[in-house]
Amino acid sequence: EKGGYEHFMLKEIYEQPSAISDTYRGRMLPDQGIIRMAGVDDNIERISNARRILIVACGTSWHAGLVAEYIFEDLARIPVEVEYASEFRYRNPIISENDVVIAISQSGETADTMAAIKLAKEKGAFVFGVCNVVGSSISRETHAGAYTHAGPEIGVASTKAFTTQITVLTLMALKLAKHKGTISNSDFRFHLQELERIPEKVKEALNSDEHIRGIADIYKNATNCLYLGRGFNFPVALEGALKLKEISYIHAEGYPAAEMKHGPIALIDEQMPVVVIATKKGHYEKVVSNIQEIKSRKGKIIAVVTHGDTEVRELADHVIEVPETMESLTPLLTTIPLQLLSYHIAVMLGKNVDQPRNLAKSVTVE
Ligand code: M6R
């Protein structure tokens, strides 16, 4: 059932090229420049005229929501807010019929997300669901939705659900952008073509597995770890830290790289591994100077860089390459090495990777 892999998590990491293409297959027609998504098509006016989009989710799905915030605002020019589902419902939120709520949930059973949906519906908002499990409670409770089609995710640590959620949300943002005219036809087609190349590039990123295992071996006994990223890759830093925490029980925190100087930089010493997402285009020069700041305090740098990078290579203790793509699609690639890094560390520490202590696959209590 694990298809020859030692753990479900590893199997699911390796399934991402096909999971991502399953997500866009039948929806995206790059040659014709078309995206078809029934749940969006049927409600296109309501969604594209939203005063704002409010995304509610928990955990990894919340991280996918944060990536989506950058993508929706960049492409479709609709204001987006991302909320932890649990916080949203307990603070008397301001929400009306002019708002569109997107609820993201792999399992479709998360109690906090479900409660947020019910509240949003009571206030008259239109609620769109992004779920993986077909027929799940959340998929039934929402007004419309789009499935991720990632296939069953068994490992408690979410992997392919995250990348396919980002894929669906990217399609949705592109579709809205086209409808609203906030993207040119040529840009639209270019995005589709680049998205179509992502599964191949994810495969290339997976080729670094052995190299990443070597890095895991060096840092497996760390007690703390920082993850830094900017822009589209800031949420990826949060996700990388969550992966490490939940399966290896090593304390990790994700930060926007520029926030370092406002506090966390005090933590840096020769004991501290810092994973930095430093792909080209994404505020690259700024990230390079963040890396220099960490180096001068003797922190150990593990950098995720664009294939062929030379500048960061000179500074970092280790580099992990991912293929080049357009900036908004980089999270689909930069996430891969971070999943593998946490996986290998957890295995080396003898942890129960697929069923970490204290955690359940779906959290059905509030
Ligand atoms: O099923 P959901 O996407 O609603 O689950 C949300 C979180 O419980 C989930 O992402 C959790 O954080 C994972 N264990 C992360 O790997």
- Structure token pair of residue 147: 């499935």
pLDDT digit string, tens, across residues 204-259: 999 999 999 999 999 999 999 999 999 999 999 999 999 999 999 999 999 999 89
What pTM was estimated for this model as a whole? 0.97
Residue 157 in contact with ligand 1 by CB distance below 6 A: yes
Ligand 1: distance of its center to the CA of 210 in Å?
27
Distances (CA, A) of 103 to 108, 115, 363: 9, 11, 15
Residue 158 pLDDT: 98
Quick check: 282 pLDDT over 80? no
Residue 165 in contact with ligand 1 by CB distance below 6 A: no
> Inter-axis angle of helices 185-206 and 160-180, to 10 degrees?
170
Residue 130, beta-bridge partner list: 104, 146
Ligand 1: distance of its center to the CA of 355 in Å?
13
By DSSP bridging, strand 126-131 and strand 80-84 are unpaired
What element of type H or E holds 347? helix 331-348
Which amino acid would we find at residue 318? H
Distance CA 111, CA 362 (A): 9
pLDDT digit string, tens, across residues 316-353: 999 999 999 999 999 999 999 999 999 999 999 999 99
Distance CA 196, CA 98 (A): 33
The pLDDT-based confidence of 284 (bands split at 50, 70, 90) is confident
- Structure token pair of residue 186: 């040529």
Quick check: ipTM above 0.90?
yes
- Structure token pair of residue 125: 């908002």
Ligand 1: distance of its center to the CA of 228 in Å?
21
Residue 343 pLDDT: 98
Residue 113 in contact with ligand 1 by CB distance below 6 A: yes
Task: Find where tokens 């700024």 sit.
Answer: 286
Residue 163 in contact with ligand 1 by CB distance below 6 A: no
> Which atom of ligand 1 lies nearest, measured to the CA of 110?
4
Over range 6-27, report the average pLDDT.
97
Q: What backbone phi and psi angles, to 5 degrees, belong to 186?
A: -70, -40
